[in-house]
Structure 1
Amino acid sequence: MTPSMDDDRSERLATRPCILVVDDEKAVRDVLSETLSDEGFEIVEARSRRGLFSVLAERDVDLITLDLNLGAEDGLELARDIRALVNVPIIMITGRGEPQDRVTGLEGGADDYITKPFHVREVSIRVRSVLQRYDRLQPEHLAQARPATSSCVRICDTIFDMRTHVATKTDGSPVNLTETEAGLLAAFLANPDRILSRDDLWDMLRGRERDPMDRTIDGHVARLRSKIECARRSAPLIKSVRGVGYVFIGDLAPEFPTASSIASETA
């Protein structure tokens, strides 16, 4: 019997997802490879354009982490060349951290964008998130090597528990989010660097009826911003995209649960 496409997909997903780490700095490749390998991924490496396409010619990969400045190569052009060859998710990793650089990277074909220096757990969280979007991650892979504390994310000086929707400042003081504000924050954190329309946001706030002309989402986002922004950032965490919606452009890092979130779970 000839194997079906579903059989091929099941066989592929039964194996460990393969990540191609592309960076001309050995130290960066070593850190990424060790971190993602510990997370249960198979890792292959490349340090140049030639090495990258040599790997792609020899085998399938599930995701590529790509240095935006790969020697003399333009990472944006390289991403477009990759897209012309294979449909594989790309996470750009670079020292350029300005909001416009993020937008340019995403418009250039990246699925996500991480700035150096990065937190190693942030990379693994974003890798899993992108793989889920591409349906390249089985539940057992999602659970593998993930610590129980990974539901807590730090955004600037705010810690948010994605499971309980409890927010606190890093000094332990509570952040009083409404149910809608907490739902919006969870939606933004689950889709970093992705432009979300107002309809997208309402759809993510499950079970909420809305009028197509209802603009109250803008008020909810404005109040959320006022509660999570911090003075040391020159750019907003949640950026307005004129005529479209909003995009979360803050950096994320995993965090241990706060006393408040632990109390909420055990109450």
Structure 2
Amino acid sequence: MFFVILGRLVNINALFRETRLVKIHSLHIYPVKSLTGIQVPSFEMDDFGPKGDRRWMIVDADRNFATQRTFPELAKITTSVVDGCVSIRIPGEGDFTLKATDEELRVLVWCDWVKAHEGEAAASEALSRFCGKDLRFVYMSDSSFRRVDAGRVTEYRRVGFADGFPFLITSLASLQELNGRLEIPVDMRRFRPNIVVEGAAPWQEDHWRKLKVGEQYFDIVKPCSRCVLTTVDPDTGLKDPGLQPLRTLSGYRRTADGVIFGQNAIHESSGIIHVDDSVTVIESE
């Protein structure tokens, strides 16, 4: 539909698309890497990213990080945070509060050897029984420093045990577009974002470079390449035998960076963001 506005012929539908309100739909933190996340109404950001996000991790006997890629049943272990303490519930084992000991060790997450503190034995022993493998919880203290990928971020920035960057931003519209291609829809938990936005067009986030979220600023630094973890059902802890939704994404979302869903980001300063905060694109390609 076209109207003449101030002497110009304007496509009203296009104008609406350009001015649609983009805002935060939901916020999520993951106290333990690869365990269930927690949806929150707001979160504070510190030097690592979302406060408390992925400061705990699971390692095997070789001190190499363990995730749902190898142990999909980890999806069934829930987490909670009360008074700053992380608690987990392991099916058939019970509830445990994670506590770091003074025992230091170096652990491997992807290509990074990182200083960590071993967790108390009770939770690790219960986890090992649940997974049938010798596993341990480890904690990254404030004194440990793991650098964000220097090939993508020239500033000397840190990150916790997240795969590579402090934040993952995804779009509700992109998930809806993907689900239109799937026989069985999936929910956003498969993609483990920190910030989910609504109001953008599908895949519009591919072109974002800088955002203002509420009063905070974020730089988009790398598209997020997806792996078999997206094929794990977060309710059952079982992998989809047809490798969905990864197989469908591979058919039309493959780039030089991999099969893409979502964008990795870093924050410019500490602060707080909330659900329903506006999201303004400051810079795009």
For normalisation by structure 2, the TM-score amounts to: 0.25
Structure richer in strand, relative to its length: 2
Structure richer in helix, relative to its length: 1
For normalisation by structure 1, the TM-score amounts to: 0.26
